[in-house]
Amino acid sequence: MTNSWVTTVDHKRLGLMYIGYALVFLVIGGVEAALMRIQLIAPHQTFVSPQVFNRLFTMHGTTMIFFVVMPLLFGFANYLIPLMIGARDTAFPRLNALSFWLTAFAGLLLYFSVLGASGLYGAGNAPDVGWFAYAPLTSTTFSRGHSTDFWTLSLLVSGIGSVGTAINLIATILCLRCDGMTLGRMPLFAWLILVMAAMVILAVSPLTAAQLMLLIDRYLGGHFFDTQAGGSATLWMHFFWIFGHPEVYVLVLPAFGFASEIIPVFSRKAMFGYPVMVGATVCIGFIGLSVWAHHMFTIGMTAQANTFFVLSTMAIAVPTGIKIFNWLATMWGGTIAFTTPMLFCTAFLFQFLVAGLTGIMLGAAPLDWQLGNSYFVVAHFHYVIVGGILFTTFGAFYYWFPKATGRMYSEALGRLHFWLFVIGFHLTFDFMHMPGLLGMPRRIYTYEADRGWAIWNLIVTIGVVFQASGILVFLANLGWSYRRGTPAGSDPWDAWTLEWSTASPPPDYNFAALPAVRSRRPLWDLKHPEDPDWRYE
Ligand SMILES: [Cu+2]
């Protein structure tokens, strides 16, 4: 590889840079979570001040969504898509590099705020308005100084990077597929990335518009969100959640893609119901754009509006349920190998089901009136993001690690990571539902001893210790295996998609000769000429 990491436009290198960058912020975001959990381990702790606690949950939420999960998924998409569709690179390599560097700079810009006026221990000028930055808290009346501007500007910049990446991925998937790879033959991961990229463009744009309006309110005398001057605080909420809810699908669709690639290979069966999986994905994309106000059931919308958003939220359970059914049907009757990637994907199936069920509970407005803004909600969305997205992403790390490095990871360390993390996850996020049901609001920096919340908060914090140990084992495994892992060869899993048809790691140009395919499992056809898949198409 000739060009340096700084000037590279190669999709593989950019993919690995996104992933490396996200891992650094995963540790930072994790430390922020641990600091909050130490503060909440028991009533009346003074480990951090109320002001620092506000900065911690704002930075934790913003970091994990925009500078961990999104770069991770963009990293995997960048690395895998050209290999999976039989292309040499993405459609717009320089746009790809620009988008990466914008995202990279945006994260640094957000953390420059920590170096602000009152220094590190006061967390400087870090934003303190929560990751969804409701008005009028973000106005110059209630947010003096520049902390909110760091939040706004860093997300404005990363938003441009995300839209650039999305345009590039859509053009690559629609225009650079190799001979014979029709839309109906491309890997499911490519379908999920295609719909995810479209949602990025549709979701990030309203957020960008709202952030520009916020800057106009703060510096150019605008009144968009100023309730005292004819503006509207709920206008911000609508803009934010028109972005915010589709954003959760931007995060979960690639995770579904990981599961849809890993589960068939370790069940030794082709994916059950490929066309229905594609249909369900597109349905999720569309319905996902019409549910945003389920985050606003408590603001006093009309009964008609509430009913609409209750129904649209419930409707999204159907295509999601179909996916869970099809993954189970793929495993059913298969010869299942519980390798580390498969362990993570199996846990994902159960946890995502539970996350979906609590989502349906919160989608029922009357229940949300009771549970809204409580730790039940915090437990729910961590169940989705950690229990769903992070679990399959760990599975993806282990599944494609041999392809990207040419070496196998340590299966023993992989399993240790899995068990530490799954125990920690359930200790933390199962028991976090309890104080929520008992009325504990989110974002409070301490609580009274007589509320019955203390025991649950203790268990929740103990779970974080297991999760943190699991992450350390994971990072150690990546580092150690990269240097000492046994050579992997091009196709260690006996898999079926094109990335396994080239060397590990792949050469600059990806393929000596661009492949031609005749079915959804091109490598199966190559390895089983006696019974090729294309015969059944
Ligand atoms: Cu939502």
pLDDT tens by residue, 520-535: 999 988 898 888 887 7
Ligand 1 centroid to residue 528 C-alpha, Å:
45
pLDDT at 394 over 60: yes
Structural domain total, the chain: 1
Ligand 1 centroid to residue 314 C-alpha, Å:
11
Mean pLDDT over 472-488 rounds to: 97
Ligand 1 centroid to residue 307 C-alpha, Å:
15
Cα torsion 496, 499, 504, 508 to 10°: value is 160
Ligand 1 centroid to residue 245 C-alpha, Å:
4
Mean pLDDT over 481-493 rounds to: 97
Ligand 1 centroid to residue 77 C-alpha, Å:
24
Mean pLDDT over 376-396 rounds to: 98
As given in the structure block, the two tokens for residue 421 are: 């993390």
Establish whether the linkage from the previous residue to 136 is cis, with ω within 30° of 0. Answer: yes
Angstrom distance (rounded) from CA 172 to CA 90 = 5
What is the CATH classification number for the domain harbouring 320? 1.20.210.10
Q: Which domain holds residue 426?
A: 2-536
What is the pLDDT at residue 476?
Answer: 98
Ligand 1 centroid to residue 58 C-alpha, Å:
18
Ligand 1 centroid to residue 92 C-alpha, Å:
32
Ligand 1 centroid to residue 291 C-alpha, Å:
7
Tell me the pLDDT tens digit for each residue of 490-510.
999 999 999 999 999 999 999
Confidence band for 158, pLDDT divided at 50, 70 and 90: very high
Ligand 1 centroid to residue 379 C-alpha, Å:
14
Mean pLDDT over 458-475 rounds to: 98
As given in the structure block, the two tokens for residue 264 are: 């068939």
What is the pLDDT at residue 118?
Answer: 53
Angstrom distance (rounded) from CA 55 to CA 128 = 4
Mean pLDDT over 389-398 rounds to: 98
Mean pLDDT over 297-325 rounds to: 97
pLDDT at 117 over 70: no
pLDDT at 3 over 90: no
Phi, psi (rounded to 5 degrees) for 179: -50, 135
Contacts of 329 (CB under 8 A, 6+ apart): 272, 273
Neighbours of 176 (CB within 10 A): 18
What percent of the chain shows pLDDT beyond 90?
Answer: 94
Angstrom distance (rounded) from CA 287 to CA 276 = 16
Q: Beta partners for 374?
A: 441
What is the pLDDT at residue 370?
Answer: 96
Neighbours of 430 (CB within 10 A): 18
| DSSP alpha helix (H) spans, 298-453 | 303-315, 317-331, 340-363, 365-371, 375-382, 391-405, 411-431, 433-437
Ligand 1 centroid to residue 356 C-alpha, Å:
11
Locus of tokens 């019974």: 531
Phi, psi (rounded to 5 degrees) for 489: 75, 175
pTM of the model: 0.96
Ligand 1 centroid to residue 254 C-alpha, Å:
17
Angstrom distance (rounded) from CA 31 to CA 145 = 25
Give the chain's mean pLDDT.
96
What is the pLDDT at residue 166?
Answer: 98
Tell me the pLDDT tens digit for each residue of 26-84.
999 999 999 999 999 999 999 999 999 999 999 999 999 999 999 999 999 999 999 99
| DSSP alpha helix (H) spans, 176-273 | 188-219, 233-267
What is the pLDDT at residue 115?
Answer: 77
Mean pLDDT over 261-270 rounds to: 97
pLDDT at 119 over 60: no
Mean pLDDT over 145-159 rounds to: 96
Ligand 1 centroid to residue 530 C-alpha, Å:
48
What is the pLDDT at residue 276?
Answer: 98
Amino acid at 467: Q
As given in the structure block, the two tokens for residue 105 are: 């700079």
Tell me the pLDDT tens digit for each residue of 183-218.
999 999 999 999 999 999 999 999 999 999 999 999
What is the pLDDT at residue 337?
Answer: 98
